[in-house]
Every structure is written in structure tokens, then in C-alpha cells.
Amino acid sequence: MKKFIVIITLATLGFYLGQTFYELGFGDARFEHGVKDIYLEKTVSELHVANTITSIIVSFRGFDTLGEVTVLFLAATALGGILYKRRHHVGDRSVLFSASRIVRSGSKLLFPAVILLGVYVFVHGHLSPGGGFQGGTIVATGFLLMLLAYENFKVSHHVLSYIESFAGIFFVLFGLAGFYNGGTFLENFMPVGTMNNLFSGGVIPIIYILVGFKVAAELTGLIYTVLHEKD
């Protein structure tokens, strides 16, 4: 009976979703000019941002981005809470493999380069492909590399918590500042500068930097917790 109900529910949902997409009429003339043209125009004329995707994610659809960051935080918190009682003592950690001296030396050389690349990606998110989520993930990958190569490599959960909290709070504060003078959430209220310059785009690069630190802290803490799980 349960399987029958699930099948009927999915079939009904699929029918209405298919009908909705069919009625949209992709390729019709009414879609030649619309929201996309506003995004493309205002990205250059008002925000002076070279990456249109960035302006959409951080400015025009900034409230959605706040929701995505919140979901990531809740997922990391939930998994950390589940594994908390299964962790080793501080300093003890599950060892996936015994790293050789070559691997350890290579990891030590690559670590600062990986961190620098991640920071570069989220700092230049408004100028080139990339952004806070991508850059933060790269930074967390650098810490994963060191955790795998060195058994005694430690990450302070207190520092990660402060970074994550700081980034999240200021994300919301900058978003609320957009209501100044009757604006909307995350609407730009700062000078936009000159297009293609690092100091341009108003609030957009600041938000992406905050997202980068927040994602890096959450993923690094999650990786550290998983590697400290008891066998």
C-alpha cells in the first residue's frame, strides 16, 4: 500500500511538473527579452561587475544565497553533532594511510599554494569565474591534504567557530544594510568603482569573501570531525 501511494504521488507530481514546463513555451518570442536582459544591463551599468553570475547570486538573488549558506551550516552542524560522541581524544585520529616522507614534504609545499588559490578564487569572484563557495571549498581541500599527510596536524574548532560566526553575522548585516534608503536585502549601497578593477562591484566582493571564509571554516571543521571518528 505504501509503495502504491508513493508511486501515485510521484506520478502526479511528475505530471504537473511536466505540464508546467511544457506550458512555458521555451523559445517563444516572449522570452527573447525579459529578466536576463535586465540582469545583463544592470550588472555592467549599475554594479560594474564583470561576472554576471556573481551579480545574480550575491546581489539580485542574494536572499537565496543566504539560504544556501544556512543549509550548508545546518548540514555541517547536524553531522558534527551526530559524530561528536564518536570522536577520539584530541590528537588522536583515524589514519587512512601511512604517508611517506615524500607525501608529507609535498603536502607542506602545496598547502600554502592551495590556500592562496582558494583565497584568490573568492576574492576575484566578481571579476572571473569562481566565488565564495568554490574558493572556500579549495581552502578546505588544503586542510584536508595536511590532515591526511600528518597525523599530528590539528585544527582549532574554536577558531573555526569564530570565523564561521563572524562571516555569517556580517553577511546578514551587509544584507540588512541594503534596506537603507528603501532598498532590498543585499542591495548595493557602496561605491561600485571601475569595472574590471579589484576594488569594484560595491558590496559584492565583500559578500563573496565572507561566504568564502564561512564555507572554508564549515567544511574544514566537518572534515576534521569525520577524521576523528572512532572506528
**CA dist., res. 85 & res. 82, Å (int):** 7
21: enclosing H helix or E strand? helix 2-24
Confidence of residue 77 (pLDDT cuts 50, 70, 90): confident
pTM for the full predicted model: 0.72
pLDDT score, position 111? 94
How distant, in Å, are the alpha carbons of 50, 56, 108, 199, 204 from that of 191? 16, 18, 40, 9, 11
pLDDT tens for 36-62 read: 777 777 787 777 787 788 888 887 777
| Contact between 145 and 107 (Cβ < 8 Å) | yes
> Which residue has 590532515 as its cell numbers?
147
The position carrying cell 544556501 is: 68
Lowest mean pLDDT among 98-102, 132-136, 143-147: 98-102
Contact 50, 201 (CB under 8 A): no
The rounded mean pLDDT for the chain is 80
DSSP 46: T
Ramachandran category for residue 18: left, alpha or beta (phi over 0 → left; psi -120 to 50 → alpha): alpha
pLDDT of residue 38: 77
CA 101 to CA 103: how far, in whole Å? 5
| pLDDT, tens only, 176-194 | 888 776 677 777 888 888 8
From 214, 227, 137, 144, select the one nearest 174 (Cα to Cα): 214
Locate all alpha helices (DSSP H) within 156-203, ordered by sequence. 157-177
- What value, to the nearest 5°, has the Cα angle with vertex 223 and ends 162 and 98? 130
| Neighbour-count burial of 106, counting CB atoms closer than 10 A to its CB (0-12 exposed, 13-18 middle, 19+ buried) | middle
Domain coordinates in residue numbering, the chain? 33-227
Cα 83 from Cα 69, distance rounded (Å): 21
What pLDDT, in 10s, does the model give residues 207-229? 889 989 999 998 998 888 877 66
